[in-house]
Structure 1
Amino acid sequence: MNKTLRNILIVIGILILLVSPVISGYNKMISLEQKVNIAQGNIESDLQRRSDLIPNLVETVKGFAKQEEKIFTDIANARAKLGGAGNVNERANADNELSGALSRLLVVVENYPELKSNENFRSLMVQLEGTENRINIARKDYNTAVSEYNTTIKKFPNSLVASVFRFGEKPYYKASEGAKEVPKVDFNTGK
Protein backbone atom coordinates (compact mmCIF):
# COMPACT_ATOMS: atom_id res chain seq x y z
CA MET A 1 0.00 0.00 0.00
CA ASN A 2 1.50 3.26 -0.94
CA LYS A 3 1.85 6.16 1.46
CA THR A 4 -0.62 8.44 -0.35
CA LEU A 5 -3.43 5.88 -0.27
CA ARG A 6 -2.81 5.26 3.42
CA ASN A 7 -2.94 9.02 4.17
CA ILE A 8 -6.19 9.33 2.23
CA LEU A 9 -7.72 6.45 4.20
CA ILE A 10 -6.60 8.01 7.49
CA VAL A 11 -8.17 11.37 6.54
CA ILE A 12 -11.40 9.62 5.49
CA GLY A 13 -11.44 7.70 8.80
CA ILE A 14 -10.95 10.90 10.80
CA LEU A 15 -13.74 12.63 8.84
CA ILE A 16 -16.08 9.72 9.52
CA LEU A 17 -15.24 9.90 13.22
CA LEU A 18 -15.94 13.65 13.26
CA VAL A 19 -19.11 13.60 11.14
CA SER A 20 -20.71 10.52 12.69
CA PRO A 21 -21.68 12.16 16.03
CA VAL A 22 -23.10 15.15 14.16
CA ILE A 23 -25.30 12.96 11.98
CA SER A 24 -26.31 10.81 14.94
CA GLY A 25 -27.16 13.85 17.09
CA TYR A 26 -29.10 15.50 14.28
CA ASN A 27 -31.14 12.36 13.62
CA LYS A 28 -31.89 11.95 17.34
CA MET A 29 -33.09 15.56 17.58
CA ILE A 30 -35.34 15.10 14.55
CA SER A 31 -36.85 11.96 16.12
CA LEU A 32 -37.42 13.67 19.46
CA GLU A 33 -38.92 16.74 17.80
CA GLN A 34 -41.37 14.47 16.00
CA LYS A 35 -42.32 12.85 19.32
CA VAL A 36 -43.08 16.32 20.69
CA ASN A 37 -45.20 17.13 17.61
CA ILE A 38 -47.12 13.86 17.91
CA ALA A 39 -47.75 14.45 21.62
CA GLN A 40 -48.95 17.99 20.89
CA GLY A 41 -51.27 16.63 18.20
CA ASN A 42 -52.67 14.10 20.68
CA ILE A 43 -53.50 16.90 23.11
CA GLU A 44 -55.22 18.84 20.34
CA SER A 45 -57.19 15.77 19.29
CA ASP A 46 -58.40 15.13 22.84
CA LEU A 47 -59.24 18.80 23.35
CA GLN A 48 -61.28 18.68 20.14
CA ARG A 49 -63.10 15.59 21.38
CA ARG A 50 -63.98 17.38 24.61
CA SER A 51 -65.00 20.48 22.70
CA ASP A 52 -67.34 18.36 20.56
CA LEU A 53 -68.95 16.80 23.66
CA ILE A 54 -69.57 20.08 25.45
CA PRO A 55 -72.45 21.42 23.30
CA ASN A 56 -74.42 18.21 23.93
CA LEU A 57 -73.74 18.42 27.65
CA VAL A 58 -74.68 22.10 27.79
CA GLU A 59 -77.92 21.52 25.88
CA THR A 60 -78.86 18.70 28.23
CA VAL A 61 -78.20 20.84 31.30
CA LYS A 62 -79.93 23.91 29.80
CA GLY A 63 -83.23 22.09 29.79
CA PHE A 64 -83.02 21.67 33.56
CA ALA A 65 -81.10 24.77 34.67
CA LYS A 66 -82.32 27.72 32.63
CA GLN A 67 -81.20 30.31 35.21
CA GLU A 68 -77.52 29.33 34.91
CA GLU A 69 -76.95 31.32 31.70
CA LYS A 70 -73.60 32.85 32.82
CA ILE A 71 -71.97 29.42 33.06
CA PHE A 72 -73.19 28.55 29.56
CA THR A 73 -71.75 31.82 28.26
CA ASP A 74 -68.42 31.19 30.04
CA ILE A 75 -68.22 27.72 28.47
CA ALA A 76 -68.95 29.08 24.99
CA ASN A 77 -66.33 31.83 25.39
CA ALA A 78 -63.71 29.38 26.67
CA ARG A 79 -64.38 27.00 23.76
CA ALA A 80 -63.92 29.89 21.33
CA LYS A 81 -60.59 30.83 22.95
CA LEU A 82 -59.44 27.22 22.76
CA GLY A 83 -60.35 27.07 19.07
CA GLY A 84 -58.43 30.27 18.36
CA ALA A 85 -55.33 29.40 20.41
CA GLY A 86 -52.19 29.82 18.34
CA ASN A 87 -49.51 28.24 20.52
CA VAL A 88 -49.05 25.82 23.42
CA ASN A 89 -49.28 28.52 26.12
CA GLU A 90 -52.48 30.05 24.69
CA ARG A 91 -53.96 26.56 24.31
CA ALA A 92 -53.05 25.66 27.91
CA ASN A 93 -54.63 28.86 29.27
CA ALA A 94 -57.81 28.38 27.21
CA ASP A 95 -57.92 24.71 28.23
CA ASN A 96 -57.68 25.68 31.90
CA GLU A 97 -60.40 28.31 31.49
CA LEU A 98 -62.67 25.74 29.87
CA SER A 99 -61.93 23.21 32.62
CA GLY A 100 -62.88 25.81 35.24
CA ALA A 101 -66.16 26.60 33.48
CA LEU A 102 -66.96 22.90 33.22
CA SER A 103 -66.21 22.47 36.94
CA ARG A 104 -68.68 25.25 37.74
CA LEU A 105 -71.25 23.59 35.48
CA LEU A 106 -70.82 20.27 37.29
CA VAL A 107 -71.26 21.97 40.66
CA VAL A 108 -74.53 23.48 39.39
CA VAL A 109 -75.68 20.02 38.31
CA GLU A 110 -75.60 18.96 41.98
CA ASN A 111 -78.70 21.17 42.52
CA TYR A 112 -80.69 19.18 39.95
CA PRO A 113 -81.10 15.55 41.05
CA GLU A 114 -83.49 14.85 38.17
CA LEU A 115 -80.75 15.93 35.75
CA LYS A 116 -78.22 13.57 37.33
CA SER A 117 -80.60 10.68 36.73
CA ASN A 118 -81.15 11.64 33.06
CA GLU A 119 -79.73 8.92 30.77
CA ASN A 120 -78.33 11.37 28.18
CA PHE A 121 -76.61 13.39 30.87
CA ARG A 122 -75.07 10.31 32.51
CA SER A 123 -73.80 9.06 29.15
CA LEU A 124 -72.28 12.45 28.33
CA MET A 125 -70.64 12.63 31.76
CA VAL A 126 -69.02 9.22 31.27
CA GLN A 127 -67.68 10.32 27.89
CA LEU A 128 -66.49 13.64 29.30
CA GLU A 129 -64.74 11.94 32.23
CA GLY A 130 -62.97 9.57 29.84
CA THR A 131 -61.95 12.49 27.65
CA GLU A 132 -60.62 14.46 30.63
CA ASN A 133 -58.49 11.44 31.56
CA ARG A 134 -57.19 11.23 27.99
CA ILE A 135 -56.32 14.94 28.03
CA ASN A 136 -54.44 14.55 31.30
CA ILE A 137 -52.44 11.61 29.95
CA ALA A 138 -51.75 13.47 26.68
CA ARG A 139 -50.45 16.49 28.62
CA LYS A 140 -48.11 14.27 30.62
CA ASP A 141 -46.90 12.51 27.46
CA TYR A 142 -46.28 15.88 25.80
CA ASN A 143 -44.28 17.19 28.77
CA THR A 144 -42.26 13.97 28.90
CA ALA A 145 -41.45 14.29 25.17
CA VAL A 146 -40.54 17.98 25.63
CA SER A 147 -38.29 17.13 28.58
CA GLU A 148 -36.43 14.47 26.60
CA TYR A 149 -36.09 16.78 23.58
CA ASN A 150 -34.96 19.82 25.61
CA THR A 151 -32.46 17.74 27.59
CA THR A 152 -30.99 16.29 24.40
CA ILE A 153 -30.49 19.66 22.69
CA LYS A 154 -28.78 21.06 25.78
CA LYS A 155 -26.25 18.26 26.25
CA PHE A 156 -22.79 18.49 24.71
CA PRO A 157 -22.01 17.81 21.83
CA ASN A 158 -25.68 17.88 20.79
CA SER A 159 -25.89 21.51 21.88
CA LEU A 160 -23.45 22.39 19.10
CA VAL A 161 -25.49 20.48 16.52
CA ALA A 162 -28.70 22.03 17.87
CA SER A 163 -27.34 25.55 17.53
CA VAL A 164 -26.05 24.94 14.00
CA PHE A 165 -29.35 23.43 12.82
CA ARG A 166 -31.49 25.79 14.94
CA PHE A 167 -33.23 23.28 17.17
CA GLY A 168 -34.91 25.47 19.79
CA GLU A 169 -36.27 24.65 23.21
CA LYS A 170 -39.95 23.59 23.29
CA PRO A 171 -42.40 24.98 25.87
CA TYR A 172 -43.98 22.77 28.51
CA TYR A 173 -47.74 22.46 28.81
CA LYS A 174 -48.42 24.35 32.05
CA ALA A 175 -51.52 25.13 34.03
CA SER A 176 -52.41 28.80 34.15
CA GLU A 177 -52.15 30.65 37.46
CA GLY A 178 -55.94 30.63 37.87
CA ALA A 179 -56.14 26.85 37.45
CA LYS A 180 -54.88 26.35 40.98
CA GLU A 181 -57.87 28.19 42.47
CA VAL A 182 -61.10 26.42 43.27
CA PRO A 183 -63.88 27.77 41.02
CA LYS A 184 -66.41 29.95 42.84
CA VAL A 185 -70.03 29.11 42.24
CA ASP A 186 -72.88 31.34 43.38
CA PHE A 187 -76.16 29.53 43.84
CA ASN A 188 -78.06 32.75 44.48
CA THR A 189 -80.46 33.37 41.65
CA GLY A 190 -80.80 37.10 42.30
CA LYS A 191 -83.18 36.85 45.27
Structure 2
Amino acid sequence: MSIIGWVVIGLLVLILIYAIAVYNGLVRLRALVREGFSGITVQLRRRADLVPNLVETVQGYATHERSTLDEVIAHRSDAVTAKSVEATAQADNMMSAMLGRLIAVAEAYPDLKADANFRELQDELSVLEGELQSARRYYNATVRDLNTKVQSFPDTVFARAFGFSEEPFYQDDDPALASAPKVSFARPAA
Protein backbone atom coordinates (compact mmCIF):
# COMPACT_ATOMS: atom_id res chain seq x y z
CA MET A 1 0.00 0.00 0.00
CA SER A 2 1.27 3.44 -0.85
CA ILE A 3 1.88 6.32 1.51
CA ILE A 4 -1.21 8.10 0.17
CA GLY A 5 -3.30 5.05 1.05
CA TRP A 6 -1.95 5.04 4.61
CA VAL A 7 -2.57 8.79 4.95
CA VAL A 8 -6.18 8.37 3.78
CA ILE A 9 -6.71 5.47 6.20
CA GLY A 10 -5.11 7.52 8.99
CA LEU A 11 -7.39 10.49 8.23
CA LEU A 12 -10.47 8.24 8.17
CA VAL A 13 -9.48 6.74 11.53
CA LEU A 14 -8.99 10.23 12.99
CA ILE A 15 -12.37 11.36 11.67
CA LEU A 16 -13.99 8.24 13.10
CA ILE A 17 -12.36 8.81 16.50
CA TYR A 18 -13.43 12.46 16.42
CA ALA A 19 -17.01 11.47 15.47
CA ILE A 20 -17.14 9.00 18.36
CA ALA A 21 -15.84 11.66 20.76
CA VAL A 22 -18.42 14.18 19.54
CA TYR A 23 -21.22 11.62 19.79
CA ASN A 24 -20.25 10.61 23.33
CA GLY A 25 -20.01 14.27 24.36
CA LEU A 26 -23.46 14.99 22.95
CA VAL A 27 -24.93 11.95 24.68
CA ARG A 28 -23.43 13.12 27.99
CA LEU A 29 -24.78 16.65 27.53
CA ARG A 30 -28.24 15.36 26.57
CA ALA A 31 -28.24 13.21 29.73
CA LEU A 32 -27.31 16.27 31.81
CA VAL A 33 -30.15 18.27 30.24
CA ARG A 34 -32.62 15.50 31.07
CA GLU A 35 -31.21 15.28 34.59
CA GLY A 36 -31.55 19.05 34.96
CA PHE A 37 -35.18 19.01 33.83
CA SER A 38 -35.86 16.11 36.17
CA GLY A 39 -34.47 18.22 39.02
CA ILE A 40 -36.97 20.96 38.17
CA THR A 41 -39.88 18.52 38.12
CA VAL A 42 -38.84 17.05 41.49
CA GLN A 43 -38.94 20.54 43.04
CA LEU A 44 -42.26 21.30 41.34
CA ARG A 45 -43.68 18.06 42.73
CA ARG A 46 -42.47 18.99 46.21
CA ARG A 47 -44.12 22.40 45.84
CA ALA A 48 -47.36 20.80 44.58
CA ASP A 49 -47.35 18.55 47.64
CA LEU A 50 -46.83 21.53 49.96
CA VAL A 51 -49.61 23.64 48.45
CA PRO A 52 -52.60 21.76 49.96
CA ASN A 53 -51.17 22.18 53.48
CA LEU A 54 -50.57 25.86 52.86
CA VAL A 55 -54.06 26.37 51.43
CA GLU A 56 -55.64 24.40 54.28
CA THR A 57 -53.91 26.61 56.83
CA VAL A 58 -54.94 29.80 55.06
CA GLN A 59 -58.46 28.47 54.56
CA GLY A 60 -59.03 28.29 58.30
CA TYR A 61 -58.49 32.03 58.57
CA ALA A 62 -59.50 33.43 55.20
CA THR A 63 -62.83 31.78 54.46
CA HIS A 64 -64.08 34.54 52.12
CA GLU A 65 -60.98 34.23 49.88
CA ARG A 66 -62.40 31.02 48.39
CA SER A 67 -61.69 31.81 44.71
CA THR A 68 -57.96 32.31 45.30
CA LEU A 69 -57.73 29.12 47.36
CA ASP A 70 -59.69 27.08 44.80
CA GLU A 71 -57.54 28.40 41.95
CA VAL A 72 -54.31 27.44 43.73
CA ILE A 73 -55.59 23.91 44.46
CA ALA A 74 -56.95 23.45 40.93
CA HIS A 75 -53.62 24.30 39.30
CA ARG A 76 -51.16 22.87 41.84
CA SER A 77 -50.10 19.92 39.67
CA ASP A 78 -50.18 21.61 36.23
CA ALA A 79 -46.39 22.06 36.13
CA VAL A 80 -45.79 18.44 37.14
CA THR A 81 -48.10 17.04 34.45
CA ALA A 82 -47.03 19.36 31.62
CA LYS A 83 -45.68 17.59 28.54
CA SER A 84 -42.92 19.99 27.42
CA VAL A 85 -40.33 22.35 28.86
CA GLU A 86 -42.32 25.36 27.63
CA ALA A 87 -45.61 24.10 29.11
CA THR A 88 -43.89 23.27 32.40
CA ALA A 89 -42.33 26.74 32.59
CA GLN A 90 -45.66 28.39 31.84
CA ALA A 91 -47.50 26.35 34.49
CA ASP A 92 -44.67 26.98 36.96
CA ASN A 93 -44.87 30.74 36.39
CA MET A 94 -48.65 30.68 36.80
CA MET A 95 -48.35 28.76 40.09
CA SER A 96 -45.69 31.15 41.37
CA ALA A 97 -48.05 34.05 40.68
CA MET A 98 -50.93 32.27 42.42
CA LEU A 99 -48.77 31.49 45.44
CA GLY A 100 -47.82 35.15 45.55
CA ARG A 101 -51.51 36.05 45.66
CA LEU A 102 -52.06 33.42 48.36
CA ILE A 103 -49.30 34.90 50.52
CA ALA A 104 -50.77 38.37 49.88
CA VAL A 105 -54.14 37.09 51.14
CA ALA A 106 -52.40 35.77 54.23
CA GLU A 107 -50.86 39.19 54.88
CA ALA A 108 -54.35 40.55 55.53
CA TYR A 109 -54.82 38.19 58.49
CA PRO A 110 -52.55 38.98 61.45
CA ASP A 111 -53.62 35.84 63.31
CA LEU A 112 -52.65 33.72 60.31
CA LYS A 113 -49.27 35.43 59.96
CA ALA A 114 -48.65 34.63 63.65
CA ASP A 115 -49.71 30.97 63.24
CA ALA A 116 -46.67 28.72 63.76
CA ASN A 117 -47.88 26.16 61.21
CA PHE A 118 -48.34 28.85 58.55
CA ARG A 119 -44.91 30.34 59.25
CA GLU A 120 -43.33 26.90 59.00
CA LEU A 121 -45.09 26.20 55.69
CA GLN A 122 -44.13 29.64 54.39
CA ASP A 123 -40.48 29.04 55.35
CA GLU A 124 -40.56 25.62 53.68
CA LEU A 125 -42.04 27.19 50.55
CA SER A 126 -39.33 29.85 50.57
CA VAL A 127 -36.57 27.21 50.80
CA LEU A 128 -38.26 25.18 48.08
CA GLU A 129 -38.48 28.19 45.77
CA GLY A 130 -34.73 28.73 46.25
CA GLU A 131 -34.04 25.10 45.35
CA LEU A 132 -36.35 25.39 42.36
CA GLN A 133 -34.45 28.48 41.19
CA SER A 134 -31.18 26.54 41.48
CA ALA A 135 -32.66 23.65 39.48
CA ARG A 136 -33.77 26.05 36.75
CA ARG A 137 -30.30 27.59 36.55
CA TYR A 138 -28.65 24.15 36.38
CA TYR A 139 -31.02 23.06 33.62
CA ASN A 140 -30.40 26.22 31.60
CA ALA A 141 -26.62 25.83 32.01
CA THR A 142 -26.75 22.28 30.66
CA VAL A 143 -29.00 23.38 27.79
CA ARG A 144 -26.54 26.17 26.99
CA ASP A 145 -23.66 23.66 26.87
CA LEU A 146 -25.58 21.22 24.67
CA ASN A 147 -26.84 23.93 22.33
CA THR A 148 -23.34 25.40 21.99
CA LYS A 149 -21.94 21.99 21.07
CA VAL A 150 -24.78 21.29 18.60
CA GLN A 151 -24.32 24.69 16.94
CA SER A 152 -20.49 24.75 16.83
CA PHE A 153 -18.56 23.73 13.74
CA PRO A 154 -17.46 21.00 13.05
CA ASP A 155 -19.51 19.36 15.83
CA THR A 156 -22.73 20.55 14.20
CA VAL A 157 -22.06 18.29 11.19
CA PHE A 158 -21.91 15.21 13.40
CA ALA A 159 -24.66 16.40 15.76
CA ARG A 160 -27.17 16.77 12.92
CA ALA A 161 -26.11 13.45 11.42
CA PHE A 162 -26.64 11.73 14.79
CA GLY A 163 -30.05 13.39 15.27
CA PHE A 164 -29.13 15.88 18.00
CA SER A 165 -30.79 19.28 18.08
CA GLU A 166 -31.04 22.31 20.34
CA GLU A 167 -33.08 22.05 23.53
CA PRO A 168 -35.36 24.85 24.77
CA PHE A 169 -34.34 27.00 27.71
CA TYR A 170 -36.54 27.13 30.79
CA GLN A 171 -37.71 30.72 30.70
CA ASP A 172 -40.48 33.08 31.58
CA ASP A 173 -41.93 34.83 28.55
CA ASP A 174 -43.71 37.47 30.64
CA PRO A 175 -42.84 40.78 28.91
CA ALA A 176 -43.20 42.63 32.22
CA LEU A 177 -40.03 40.92 33.47
CA ALA A 178 -37.98 42.22 30.55
CA SER A 179 -38.54 45.87 31.41
CA ALA A 180 -37.34 47.77 34.43
CA PRO A 181 -40.05 48.87 36.85
CA LYS A 182 -40.86 52.57 36.94
CA VAL A 183 -39.75 54.18 40.14
CA SER A 184 -40.51 57.75 41.02
CA PHE A 185 -39.91 59.67 44.16
CA ALA A 186 -41.96 62.70 44.99
CA ARG A 187 -39.81 65.80 45.15
CA PRO A 188 -40.06 67.76 48.33
CA ALA A 189 -41.74 71.11 48.03
CA ALA A 190 -39.20 73.88 47.72
Tell me the TM-score range normalised by the shorter chain: 0.7 to 0.9
Instruction: List structure 1 segments (4+ residues) > 4 angstroms apart after TM superposition.
Output: 5-11
- Tell me the equivalent position of 2:131: 134
Separation of aligned partners in 2, 1:46 and 1:150: 24
Are 1:39 and 2:36 matched, yes or no?
yes
Which of 72, 80, 85 pairs up with 1:83?
80
TM-superposed CA distance for 1:21, in Å, is 1.3
After the TM superposition, which residues 82-161 of structure 1 pair with which residues of structure 2 at under 5 Å, given as runs?
A: 82-161=79-158
Alignment length, in residue pairs?
Answer: 178
Deviations 1:37-81 (A, max 9, x none): 110000000000111101000001100000001111211232242
Aligned CA distance change for structure 1 residues 13 and 178 (closer, same or farther; 3 Å): closer
Which of 17, 29, 52 pairs up with 2:49?
52
Separation of aligned partners in 2, 1:54 and 1:76: 7
8 Å Cα contact 1:85/1:94 also seen in 2: yes
After TM superposition, the structure 1 stretch with the greater mean CA deviation from structure 2, 165-174 or 71-80, is 71-80
Separation of aligned partners in 2, 1:83 and 1:154: 30
Separation of aligned partners in 1, 2:48 and 2:97: 14
8 Å Cα contact 2:45/2:77 also seen in 1: no
8 Å Cα contact 2:89/2:170 also seen in 1: yes
Aligned residue type for 2:66:
E
State the TM-score, normalized to the length of structure 2: 0.87
Segments of 5+ residues of structure 2 without an aligned counterpart are 179-190
Q: CA RMSD in A?
A: 1.9
8 Å Cα contact 1:97/1:179 also seen in 2: no
Aligned residue type for 2:146:
Y
Which of 20, 24, 27 pairs up with 1:23?
20
Aligned CA distance change for structure 1 residues 52 and 80 (closer, same or farther; 3 Å): closer
Aligned residue type for 1:151:
T
Greater relative contact order (Cα < 8 A, sep 6+): 1
State the TM-score, normalized to the length of structure 1: 0.87
Separation of aligned partners in 2, 1:180 and 1:64: 32
